[in-house]
Amino acid sequence: MTQLHTPKASRNQEMGRLSFMGSVSPAVVRFRDRGGEGDGTSRRVPGTFSVVPAPMKQTVRRSLLVTSATLASLALTAPASLAAPSPSPSPAASGSPSGSASPSGSPSASASPSVTPPADMSSVGGTRLGQAGTQVAIAGGAPVLPKDLTARSWIVADAESGDVLAAHNAHWRLPPASTMKMLFADTVLPRFPKTTVHKVEAKDLAGMGAGSSLVGIKEGETYTVHDLWLGVFLRSGNDAVHVLSQMNGGIAETVKDMNEHAEELQALDTSVVSPDGYDASGQVSSAYDLTLFARSGLQKQDFREYCSTVTAKFPGETTKKKGKTSRGTFEIQNTNRLLSGDYDISQYPGIAGVKNGNTTNAGATFTGVAERNGKVLLVTVMNPSKTDHNEVYKETAALLDWGFQAAGKVTPVGELVAPKGTAQASAQPGANPSASEGSGQAGGAGDVSAKPVAGSVTESGSGGMWIALAIAGGLLVLLAGGGYLVNRRWPLPDLVRRRR
C-alpha cells in the first residue's frame, strides 16, 4: 500500500509478505482447494458461487451473519443531525501514486497523524459520536469494556438495528488504508457482470504506489471481472483495483464516483484520493464511515460472497512449452485473519468479512462483521498503538465479544444513519429504492433468486473458493412491501436460521 521500502516494505502487503511469496507462518488451518481448472479459467455461473464447507465449526453462524448483515442496512434510523461539511474533492491528474489529485479543502493525512482527536468532529449519527474519547452507556448487568484497547478510533454497532453500542473517537478522520476498498467495491461492483473478460494493458497498472499489495496481475493477460474482484477482496490487490478503475473510466473518474457515493451514504468524514486506499495527502475516513461502507456493501450478494471467501484459485501467467500454450492457477488466501486464521489467532466464530488494511500512515485498520445467537455486529478498529502481531484483529475480537455480551444491556450512544436516497424514499409512501441498493449481483442484475445459494452447488466449480455455507443472499427480500421503513427491524428469515 504505502511508501515503505525494503526491508520494511512488507507492512503495505496486508499479510506482511509480498504477493508472490508463500506463507511462512505455521499452518494451523489448512484448506484443500476445490475447482480451478488447469487453464486458470474455471467455468463460472454468473451471480452464484459454488458452496463448500467452511473450515470452521461455526459455519452456520457465519452464514447467518452474512444474511443478517445484508438486512442490516435496511434497518436504518432517522437521518443524522448536525452533519459535518462534506469535503469537495476535485480529482485531476497529478503526481500522486494513484494519479489523482488531492481534494481541495480536504484534511491532510500527514505522515504522523495527531495523537489527539480534533474537538470539532462530526455528529452524524448522534452528538455523543462527535465527542472525543470513549462513549458508552452501560446499564445494569452489562460487562465493562475490554481492557488494553489501544486503537485511536473504534466503533461497535448492531448491524440490523443500526444502534451504536459503544464508540471511541468514531468520527476521527484518519487514513483508512485498504479498508477504503469497501467503498470502492460498493461503488464499482454493480457496474460490470462478473463474466466480463478484460485484457490488461500497461496503462491499467500505471501509477501504483511503491510497496503496494498485489495479487499478481500481468500485462497482456486476460482476466474476468470475477477474477479481479477475488484479487481485491482476498489479496487486497492494488493492481486489481487499478484495472477495475480503468475499466470504470479511469482513476480520476472512479475517485469522483466514490466520493459521490460516500456522500450518498452520509459518510461525510471521507475524502477519497486513491481508490485502493494507498496513502495520499487528504485521503481520510473514519471508523463510523467505514462501518457505513461495510453495511451498504453487505446488501450486495457478490460483496457478501467475496468478503467471506477464504481461499480461491487465481489465473497465473500464460506459458509456452514445446509449442503448447498453457495457463495455470495459484492459490490466494483472504488476508482477513479473523476469517482465515493465523499462527497466533484463530478464526473468529461467526465471522464473515469484511476488509483489512495496513499502510505507513494508517497503521492497521479493520472492519469486521460477525453473528452470534441471531445478533449481528459490525466492528471497525483503526490504528492500534500496540504493535503486537495481528493486534488489530485481537482488539476487534475483544470488542465483538464485548458487543455480544452487552447487546440489550447498554443504551445506544448513536446510530448508523440511512443513505440519503433511503431517507428520501422512506419519506414517500410506496416509494421504491434505487436498483443499485437492492442489487444482489455484480453488474447490477438485481435478480435476487428465491433459491438459497447453499442449494446451488454447480458441476462447474467456481475458482475453488471456500465460502460460508448457506450464504443466503438469494433468500433475502431487501424490500418487504415496497419502500424502506425507518426504524424497522429486519429479522433473519426462518429458512436460513439453521441449515442441517
pLDDT, average across residues 49-75: 39
Looking at every residue in the chain, the average pLDDT score rounds to: 73
Catalytic residues: 178, 181, 236
Where do we find the cell 459521490? 260
User: What residues are paired with 342 via a beta bridge?
Assistant: 345
Please name the helix (run of DSSP H) or strand (run of DSSP E) that holds residue 70, with its range, or none: helix 59-72
Distance from chain centroid for Cα 292: 10
Q: Is residue 123 a contact partner of residue 83, using CB atoms and an 8 Å limit?
A: yes
pLDDT, average across residues 69-92: 36
Q: Is residue 289 a contact partner of residue 272, using CB atoms and an 8 Å limit?
A: no
pLDDT, average across residues 295-306: 94
Q: Which residue has the higher pLDDT, 454 or 12?
A: 12
* Per-residue pLDDT at 24 exceeds 50: no
Write down the number of H helices and E strands in the chain: 11, 11
Angle between helices 238-247 and 251-264 (to 10 degrees): 90
Q: Which residue has the higher pLDDT, 292 or 23?
A: 292
* φ, ψ at 412 (rounded to 5°): -55, 145
* Per-residue pLDDT at 327 exceeds 50: yes
* Per-residue pLDDT at 483 exceeds 80: no
Q: Which long-range contacts (CB under 8 A, 24 or more apart) does 130-136 make?
A: 130/82, 130/170, 130/171, 132/169, 133/168, 133/169, 134/166, 134/167, 134/168, 135/166, 135/167, 135/168, 135/170, 135/413, 135/414, 136/165, 136/166, 136/167, 136/410, 136/413
Reported confidence tier of residue 398, pLDDT bands at 50, 70, 90: very high
* Per-residue pLDDT at 99 exceeds 80: no
What pLDDT is stored for residue 397 in this prediction? 98
**114 three-class SS:** coil
| % of the chain residues with pLDDT over 70 | 62
